[in-house]
Amino acid sequence: MSKYFQEDIETISREELEKLQNERLVETVNHVYNNVPAYKAKMDEKGITPSDIKGIEDLHKLPFVVKDDLRNEYPDGMLALPLEDCVRIQSTSGTTGRRVVVYYTQDDIRIWDECCARALVAAGCSKSDVVHVSYGYGLFTGGAGLNGGSHMVGSLTLPMSSGNTDRQLQFMQDLKSTILCCTPSYGAYLAESAIERGVVDNLHLKAGIFGAEAWSEEMRGDIEKKLNIKAHDIYGLTEISGPGVAFECGEQNGLHVNEDHFIPEIIDPETGEVLPDGEKGELVFTCISKKAMPLLRYRTRDITSLTHEKCACGRTHARIQRLMGRTDDMLIIKGVNVFPSQIEEVLINQKLTPNYQLIVDRVNNSDTLEVLVEMTPEMFSDTVGTIEKTERKIVSALKSMLGIYAKVSLVSPKSIERSEGKAVRVIDKRKI
């Protein structure tokens, strides 16, 4: 069984890869400049023409694209090809404002599927696996992406979509699913439900491919232990294609960016300046092989760092670190930057469940943070005194991690609403 889906390209030398990136970048810049008026206007405004871009060393000269640019051009103003050349539309999961819609040609779909196939094979998937896809199908890219990737590998694909936990667990047992694909929060929920129903030992799972939302190393440990699998991270966003923009190999030490298709950069979110490897900042992508709607220097709002060091798995593509939040879901509480992932880390270190919700409010002009976290069924039978003691312990752990006071309320098991897709972690009641 091969470790790679496309060994030649996944282990290509950096020199060869950069050559390919240079060629594809120049071609893509010309393509969008000539076919997308909004791009031409942006580049004209910056005083650059396609001839100024000779390769990746000139990438920083290009203007950024942000989500509002896509909203302003809704629905198809960013298309670089006639509509008749497109075969698919997907859309972001945004609930406010105009949704962003993204178009794909047949070849764009092939690229996307191949990226997901690379992720699956890196998690140990082969033709003989049964891939259980519990990401949502429909406009969301999760279901379609992993489904396409699994077909490319030639695995038996189970298009479960999300929801109906009993049926998920029944099929998982009956059809002997070996690879589970879903959001980490749904993965944790499925694990918990399988244990509760006493069926976890009947499962045949060996690996999981979890993404679409931030999760912590602690949550990984929790899912791996409960389901007895290896849990791999997968990252992506609709605007760039969907899942599979980056994925974790067996080393579980950062996510390889499919750099033959997407060039990553890390920038300072305040100044836009490009940051060196190892420094944390906003992740930016440039698509260099898609044709319908390739975005140049798209600001993801996701925060991570980048490394070009060779990975022990043999892949040469750069890695991003586990995503640590978004510039826009970073909470600022009493002037302190707080990421939900930091709180999750504390909770899991204290042996609590990953089922939590953060309630942020403003009382008498001062920010308040309340952390609701579900007790484990064993804790539920503890005395009030013991529960209060645990709450105080978490308050103090959060204080030393974040530097601010957070009220902690242990709530009964299953009282926080479960999500089958991305979990709702934060309720911000402040009207600022």
Binding site for ligand DLL (CB under 6 A): 92-93, 135, 141-142, 211-214, 233-238, 242-243, 300, 302, 323, 326
- Residue whose beta carbon is closest to ligand DLL: 211
**What CA–CA distance (Å, rounded) separates 170 from 203?**
10
Least CB distance from residue 145 to ligand DLL, whole Å?
6
**Preceding omega of 377 cis (within 30 degrees of 0):** no
Q: From the CB of 116, what's the least distance to ligand DLL, in Å?
A: 9
The minimum distance between CB 41 and ligand DLL, in angstroms, equals 25
Q: How far is the CB of 370 from ligand DLL (least distance, A)?
A: 24
Q: Which is nearer to ligand DLL, 28 or 300 (CB)?
A: 300
Nearer to ligand DLL, 147 or 238 (CB): 238
Do 358 and 340 contact (CB within 8 A), yes or no? Answer: yes
State which residue, 93 or 173, has the beta carbon closest to ligand DLL.
Answer: 93
Cα separation, 191 vs 231, whole angstroms: 12
Shortest distance, position 426 Cβ to ligand DLL, whole Å? 13
Q: In the complex with ligand DLL, which residue's Cβ is closer, 148 or 242? A: 242
Please state, in angstroms and as integers, the Cα–Cα distance from residue 79 to each residue in 71, 85, 89, 295, 431, following that order.
13, 10, 12, 10, 37
Handedness of CA 40, 43, 49, 55 (dihedral sign): negative
Residue 264 φ/ψ, nearest 5 degrees? -95, 150
- Identity of the residue, 299 or 394, whose beta carbon is nearer to ligand DLL in the bound complex: 299
Nearest distance, CB of residue 215 and ligand DLL, angstroms: 6
Q: Please, which residue, 241 or 390, has the CB nearer to ligand DLL?
A: 241
Give the residue with the Cβ less far from ligand DLL, 150 or 238. Answer: 238
C-beta of 212: minimal distance to ligand DLL in Å?
A: 4
Can you tell me the distance from the alpha carbon of 382 to that of 334, in angstroms, rounded to the nearest whole number?
A: 33
Smallest distance, Å, CB 28 to ligand DLL?
A: 21
Q: Which is nearer to ligand DLL, 142 or 354 (by Cβ)? A: 142
Q: For residues 168 and 187, is the Cβ–Cβ distance under 8 A?
A: no
In angstroms, the CA 380 to CA 359 distance is: 22
Residue 378's alpha-carbon distances to 374, 387, 415, in angstroms, are 11, 11, 15
| Count of positions (residues) in the chain | 432
- Residue 37, token pair as written in the block: 């008026």
Beta strands in 134-280 (DSSP E): 156-158, 179-182, 207-211, 230-237, 242-248, 255-257, 262-267
Positive or negative, the CA dihedral 9, 11, 14, 16 is negative
CA 303 to chain centre: 11
Element (H, E) at 372: strand 366-374
- In the bound state with ligand DLL, the residue whose beta carbon lies nearer, of 39 and 215, is 215
CB of 319 to ligand DLL, least distance (A): 13
